[in-house]
Amino acid sequence: MPTPSRNQADRISELRNLLNKANHAYYILDTPLIEDAVFDRLYRELLELEKQNPSLITLDSPSQRLGGRPSKGFQSVKHRIPLQSLDNAFNITELNDWYSRIDKLHANNSQLVCELKIDGNAVALSYINGFLQTGATRGDGTEGEEITPNVKTIASIPLSLHLKNPPPWLEVRGEAFIPNSTFQQINALRLKEGKQIFANPRNACSGTLRQLDPRVVAARRLDFFAYTIHLPEDWEPEETEPSKPKGQWEALQWLKTAGFKVNPNTQLMNDIKAVTAFCSEWESNRHNMPYATDGVVVKIENFKIQNYVGTTNKAPRWAIALKYPAEEAPTILKKLTFQVGRTGAITPVAEFKPISLAGTLVSRATLHNAKRIADLDIHSGDTIVIRKAGEIIPEVVRVIKDLRPEETNKLFLPENCPECNSKLIQEATEAITKCTNHHCPAILRGALRHWVSKGAMNIDGFGSKLIEQLVKKNLVKSIADLYKLNKKSITNLERMGEKSGEKLLIAIKNSKNQPWHKQLYALGILHIGEANAKAIAKVFPSASKLDFSLKNSPESISKIFGIGEEILDSLQNWFNTASNQQLIINLQKEGISFASNQQEDSLEINQVTRISGDMIVITGTLESLSREQAKDMIESAGGKVTNSVSSKTTFLVAGKKSGSKYKKAQELGVKIINEKELMNLLKS
């Protein structure tokens, strides 16, 4: 057996201590320390390390217990039938591996039942002669907390079975949960009362079930889905009653007959292929549900085959929970790197051990600025928690300091530019640290990438590698130099043949005909996006007229919808910089007009349409319009298209396969319209 490395031994010790501490905080103190998804990832890391180093497994390792101890705030009750946890699969491959193991046990001829995994709290219900006797939490799986008065406040749990001749005893397992709308109301009230809000519906449900006052529980309107039954082996129902279930699917139907609420999205499947399709469908549809789900539970349907397959000491072999990709996950920081943007802003980037997050593999996340580094108190080798902001952009949420290595260094932003070694500065009014050297290669590369981008001058064939070569070989020292390139200067570059060189030169030449608003956007002025550039270009038909107004009547610019003090200051600073004025002159010499190509009158500043001033978000796939077309039409009518839903959003335009934005709009009470309704607004 190989000797464990010191790093592995230390990591196992750190993980064991943190997970035990988290278990105690959750089960005993009722104050969750880390999110379930983060706990799951750290727990799996511990299992993997212990598998590699079995000599390091200790009696107090979290891997050696089923669950946490029941809280001392309630009386303990022993479960008639133990509540085992389920093993987890975190992707389709692991789900197929589970099914392959079932296949080896010759149990693959059984049908499978798929049930949505409700993100709530497991509850055990015990009925004697048809009447609810006790309700209890999972606890350690053998004993739980007796919460019968609280359980009785849940309207979807029957106090007596809807059967004429009930069994002498019945054990029902299910999930108590708080619907999303109720959760929002609870947090709004707590915020109003100055109390700490709940992190998510699951934590709110857990805290509610452990309330000593049932009136508080009743006010929070918990709900319940039943999913498992246990009956006496020797009991047989009367002929007039439903027959005794022989499998999971029949058990769910029996539960409905007995008066329980069963999740309507449960399905009976014939093979694993149908199961994977079900799981894929619900991974995207789950955001439209009125309650939180975090996966799909897959079970062998037939009870006899379940018994044949058996269980481990912690979980049944005949069932598995496919967990949705985590929205947050822990990983280990490898190093900090620092990027220089086109405005000179220095952005720290955390590079970490790759992790799967919301369906994709990520290994880098921005830390924004020096203040964010300080707030996180980040050190080399830290275990950090990563989240996908808006399910798209990875970001560092926090540091798990309990897992910090002993020999580690605190990390800071550098004092000098990592590209040109110039002294970095931080403006008193800004959080951003900048390189102010206008000749910095990184700033030039960023400006060039922006200039040639699709939303700007749209010069096809200009990739980052080509730009790096042009800057490195001093062929391009400013944006204007792009228009001085010739066949001889570019055909000697890597991956640039004669034909591709000709195409590139044609694309550069054609870019001179881009409309004025794209030219303005291409300059890369801070805070000037595509929408703002369009709005400004409609009012000021040339760069010279814009410059004149900035110097003589800035109030005429601030009247444009969406242009505030920050944008006005940015425009004035840019046009007052001599090097920027020279850039415009040089580009005009190369044929860039910086003026409207049309002779039509500019729009009046105060022109009003039905959607003037409206903040609009588009989600999903539209039938007759692309996102870009819809955006252009909305902005032409005076509206503004934003990427995220907030309380300031006027409309959400929802197409097919709408995701989390649709759900957030519902929660915030934002009006949701379809494509046809949008077109009616635009036509009017």
Residues serving a catalytic function are 117
Q: What is the dihedral of CA 132, 137, 143, 146, to 10 degrees?
A: -50
**Dist CA 317 CA 308 (whole Å):** 10
**Count of other CB atoms within 10 angstroms of residue 350:** 25
- The DSSP line for 534-600 is HHHHHH--BHHHHHHHHHH-THHHHTSTT--HHHHHHHHHHHT-HHHHHHHHHHHHTT---B-S--S
Q: Give the C-alpha distances (Å, rounded to integers) separating 311 from 321, 322, 516, 645.
A: 15, 18, 70, 46
Q: Which residue has the tokens 């079975």?
A: 161
Residue type, 419: E
Name the β-bridge partners of 398. Answer: 385
Q: Is 657 left (phi over 0), alpha (psi -120 to 50) or beta?
A: left
Q: Using H for helix, E for strand and C for coil, what is the string for 92-155? A: HHHHHHHHHHHHHCCCCCCCEEEEEEECCEEEEEEEECCEEEEEEECCCCCEEEECHHHHCCCC
- The DSSP line for 195-246 is PPPPSSHHHHHHHHHT-S-HHHHHHT--EEEEEEEE--TT----TTSPPPPS
**Dist CA 630 CA 622 (whole Å):** 9
Residue type, 493: L
Buried b (16+ CB within 10 A) or exposed e, 608-647: eeebeebbbbbbbebeebeeeebbbbbbebbbbbeeebee
Helices of type H across 402-475? 441-452, 464-472
* DSSP structural state of residue 384: E
Radius of gyration of the chain (CA): 31
SS3 479: helix
457 within 8 A of 514, measured Cβ to Cβ: yes
590 within 8 A of 512, measured Cβ to Cβ: yes
30 within 8 A of 24, measured Cβ to Cβ: no
Tokens of 154: 């849940």
Q: How far apart are the first and last CA of the chain?
A: 77
* DSSP structural state of residue 156: T
Query: Is 70 buried (19+), middle (13-18) or exposed (0-12) by CB count in 10 A?
Result: buried
**Dist CA 452 CA 287 (whole Å):** 37
Residue type, 330: P
CA angle 180, 182, 185 (to 5 degrees): 115
Q: Which residue has the tokens 């444009």?
A: 560
**Dist CA 537 CA 602 (whole Å):** 9
